Structure 1
Amino acid sequence: MNRVVIVSASVGAGHDGAARELARRLTDHGHTVDIHDYLDMLPGSAGRTLGAAYLRQLQAAPRTWDILLRALQLSRPFAALVCLLFAIAGRRMLHAVRSADLIVSTHPMPSQTLSRLKAKGRVTAPVVTYLTDMSVHRLWVAPNVDLHIALHGVAAEQARRLGARRIAVTGPAVGPAFRPVMNAAERRLARAKFGLPFEGRLALVVAGSWGVGDIADTARDIARIGLATPVVLCGQNETVRRRLADSGEGIALGWIDDMPTLMRACDVVVQNAGGLSSLEALATGLPVITYRCLAGHGRTNAAALDDAGLVPWIRDRDGLTAALTAEPVRAPLSTLCPTVALDGEMTHRETVPVTRSRRRRRLAIVAASTVAFLWLATVGVSLAVAGGFQSVGPASRRGGSVYVLVAMDSTKPMSRSTIEKLAAVHGAAAVSTKALRAQPATVRDLAKAGVTIVNAADGAPYETGVFTGRASIGQVAAGVAAVTGRSPRLMVSNGELDAIDVGIVAMHRERIIVPAATVHCGAAMGHGMKGVILVESTGDCDLEATLDALSAMASRHSVRQASIEELAA
């Protein structure tokens, strides 16, 4: 009997789910298995803080996660600096893996810590990384890990390019409960268990245990296509569950303990992250599609799953229409059980040369300081803006009012009647550099009519760029002042700004508006909208009709239509 230690990280349920299934299979093979959470190995409350910050980042500033992953993928030195941070878990990791015959990691962070301990000679047992994702970024591949287990040849090739020494391709670690439905009677019982309609096609929308991403928009798109009823799994996100339940667009479910039965009740799975749920759905025999995927790992997983021929990546509503009635993909996955590779690894030991560096502690301190500074200047600032620093964020909807902000179209002037309608509903106009250059007379007419002018920099809403876009904040501020005689007091952004952006905005004495919702001109209005509503007015849509619809919605729900000037105070 061998002792196996599995180290996961509770940042989402996918890594933990794979760890539990591997433990079950290894136990069936006669091994003793212990599972540890890497977040518990970090000093003090750092692990829980890290998990909460990651969730907040995905919710409030998802593009920063995409930027961070790209930086790690493109820059080996930056990735090396980040990896040095994982040394702080070394002592507790050593305690957890003492006397282990095999160590398995299901998350990049423990893999990096174990690799450093192997390099020092403090861990001698074989270390295996089980790649839970179809796409492999640089942190997944640690230099001193003995074996990387991949789910498909696409993932194996990505790991190989990043320097993985030995790779095995096996089937996914999915429990036996995830199997195809046997007959119509079993499907009917499964639907009855969750109170789902017996007739019609059901599309299960999954977004991980945290329920992050554009799942409300996904449900709305599916419902309006009319080929299936969306069943939205919101996980622990009770706010989204209540919002979906109020909208009436589909069926909103909270945390579910019996996923195998729920999947057998449905006909197709729509996912946004490419994690464990995708593999479980494939094992259940359901067609799976990626739609409105998450930034960062959601996009890379979507591309890898599409390349593997397992899950098509749908990028628009036309593609979604066809995919909702598609047959399951028959692309093969390996039938080799992961435990076969793990059993073999316990008899395969390689000696990793011990390396020592007298500058290790100094480098670790420099790495920690650099990464902390970059995080605070980018992600930290975005989170602070979303929370109210120098801004009026989505929290403005708690005031019980709606503030209409129209993104000015640079391709055509706004008619006199539309300007009067916008003024009548106490609306504001978001003016970009392009709109200011193309339509200065319209900007002047809007200001004369009493419509508040809001700085949109180089887009509505503005989002930060590494080298571009920043100058446009000042260009619009100066241009609006020259045209109207008054500088704007507000700037609209999606909340993804860095310290430089916030400094420029503060220099122009503006506050940042983060819209609570964005709607397309001509689109149907959602239920109970509050806060700042950004209306995108492009093309030949009827903006006046959209403003009337917003007013009608506010009246139905007894929501006050207020002037956005109130938020500048």
Structure 2
Amino acid sequence: PEMYPWIVNRSKSGWGVGYDFTNTRNKAKLIQQGIYVSLEKSLLKMLREHPADLVLSVHSLLTRTTMQGLMQFEKRPPFMVVVTDLVSTHMFWYDKSVDRCLVPTQPAYDRGLQSGLSPDQMRVTGLPVHPNFAERLTDKASAREELGWDPKLPAVLMVGGGEGMGALYETARAINDMRLKCQLIVIAGRNTVLKHKLETDRWNQPTHVYPFVTNMPVLMAAADILVSKAGPATISEACIAGLPVILYDAIPGQETGNVEYVVQNNAGIYAPSPTEASEAVAKWLAEGPEGLKRHSESAHRLGRPNAVWEIADEVWEQAQKPLIPTNRRNLFIDFSRRVPMRSRRF
């Protein structure tokens, strides 16, 4: 996890090439077999020492690996996958042996069918967003009063994920150069260097700079426009908040589909350079309150605030089921009966 932002910030194209190159059924299976071999001893030890009523995977690289480990036992608990990539889902996510696979969007569902899963194994639920997010959303005036923002100026919120990734600084400066009648809010995340640069710069409009935050529902409720990279969690939260998004960056392969999903559903636009992003902000602001309201309604239609509860219900249902025989012992007995005694050496 610590290497992910470093790689993405320094070699997005390399990440994209690797993502696309490995994104086939056969290559994904081969890579995950290698992961299983390297983790087998510790994985089986963990599964043996921590028996469960249900095993749930929320990481693509652990789906097939964990299932393979569970199949080494005579009986196994139900195995379930919650896909946390939004649209451009990698083949790592899908394994035909899983009992249930919950996906966030229809394109992710279709990708599962291509991988060999059946419709009965899958369901489109939306991406899980913490229930506190929807509960903490409030009206714009109250949110701005809580944050100390100008109550009348349109607010442009900029985020680059928890690590402040992508051309966040360059895009903020491009918006600043437009000298727009707005207030600018930039979330630098854990990127302390970025935060310092933003705080020491001069700005042409009221500008608020924040580090990593835990009050994103309030920030999104107070904003009119979101300028962000195409991360799945941020997009999902923005749609729940009815906050239209200008996407200034996307990780090749992994987030390419997110851009298409947002644009095709009129929840936002793609402006992949600081100049394009700043011009898009200017265009939306020029549409006035009515135009911003239309963009907000389009984004809100994509929101699925109940996804987390639907997923929780599915988890509970699967956890009530009995252990599932793997037929591992029967397969061994059948094999031993077919092999002549003289060739059996144990």
TM-score interval (norm. to shorter):
0.7 to 0.9
**What is residue 341 of structure 1 aligned with on the other side?**
314
List per-residue Cα deviations over 1:183-207 (Å, max 9, x = no partner). Answer: 4541233322xxx444411221122
**Equivalent residue in structure 1 for 2:199, among 242, 245, 252:** 245
Aligned 8 A contact 2:163 2:191 in 1: yes
**What is residue 82 of structure 1 aligned with on the other side?**
31
**AA in 2 matched with 1:186:** S
> 1:251, 1:342 → 2: CA distance?
41
Give the TM-score of the pair, scaled to structure 1.
0.48
Counterparts in 2 of 1:231 and 1:185: CA distance versus 1, 3 Å = closer
3-state SS of the aligned residue for 1:144? coil
Aligned 8 A contact 2:67 2:97 in 1: yes
Aligned 8 A contact 2:75 2:326 in 1: no
> Any unmatched runs of 5+ in structure 2?
286-290, 332-346
Counterparts in 2 of 1:117 and 1:268: CA distance versus 1, 3 Å = same
Give the TM-score of the pair, scaled to structure 2.
0.76
List per-residue Cα deviations over 1:168-224 (Å, max 9, x = no partner). Answer: 1114322233237544541233322xxx44441122112211111111122123333
Please tell me whether residue 216 in structure 1 is matched to residue 177 in structure 2.
no
> 1:54, 1:284 → 2: CA distance?
28
Please tell me whether residue 70 in structure 1 is matched to residue 25 in structure 2.
no
3-state SS of the aligned residue for 2:101? strand
**What is residue 264 of structure 1 aligned with on the other side?**
221
3-state SS of the aligned residue for 1:297? coil
Whose relative contact order is higher, 1 or 2, with alpha carbons under 8 Å and at least 6 apart?
2
**AA in 2 matched with 1:280:** E
**How much has 1:238 moved relative to structure 2?**
0.9
List per-residue Cα deviations over 1:387-425 (Å, max 9, x = no partner). Answer: xxxxxxxxxxxxxxxxxxxxxxxxxxxxxxxxxxxxxxx
**Equivalent residue in structure 1 for 2:186, among 232, 250, 259:** 232
Larger Cα-atom Rg: 1
Counterparts in 2 of 1:86 and 1:320: CA distance versus 1, 3 Å = farther
Please tell me whether residue 322 in structure 1 is matched to residue 271 in structure 2.
no
List per-residue Cα deviations over 1:481-532 (Å, max 9, x = no partner). Answer: xxxxxxxxxxxxxxxxxxxxxxxxxxxxxxxxxxxxxxxxxxxxxxxxxxxx
Counterparts in 2 of 1:137 and 1:260: CA distance versus 1, 3 Å = same
**How much has 1:82 moved relative to structure 2?**
1.9
**How much has 1:239 moved relative to structure 2?**
1.2
**Equivalent residue in structure 2 for 1:144, among 92, 97, 108:** 97
Please tell me whether residue 170 in structure 1 is matched to residue 148 in structure 2.
no
> 1:216, 1:89 → 2: CA distance?
40
3-state SS of the aligned residue for 1:129? strand
3-state SS of the aligned residue for 2:130? coil
3-state SS of the aligned residue for 2:212? coil
Counterparts in 2 of 1:227 and 1:293: CA distance versus 1, 3 Å = farther
* Percent identity for Structure 1 against Structure 2: 21
3-state SS of the aligned residue for 2:76? coil
Aligned 8 A contact 1:289 1:311 in 2: yes
List per-residue Cα deviations over 1:138-179 (Å, max 9, x = no partner). Answer: 112133222111122222112222233411111432223323
**How much has 1:237 moved relative to structure 2?**
0.9
Count the aligned residue pairs.
303
**AA in 2 matched with 1:133:** D
**What is residue 556 of structure 1 aligned with on the other side?**
none
**How much has 1:108 moved relative to structure 2?**
0.7
3-state SS of the aligned residue for 1:115? helix
> In angstroms, what is the RMSD of aligned CA positions?
3.0
> Any unmatched runs of 5+ in structure 1?
1-50, 357-569
> 1:100, 1:272 → 2: CA distance?
37
List per-residue Cα deviations over 1:357-405 (Å, max 9, x = no partner). Answer: xxxxxxxxxxxxxxxxxxxxxxxxxxxxxxxxxxxxxxxxxxxxxxxxx
> 1:122, 1:54 → 2: CA distance?
37
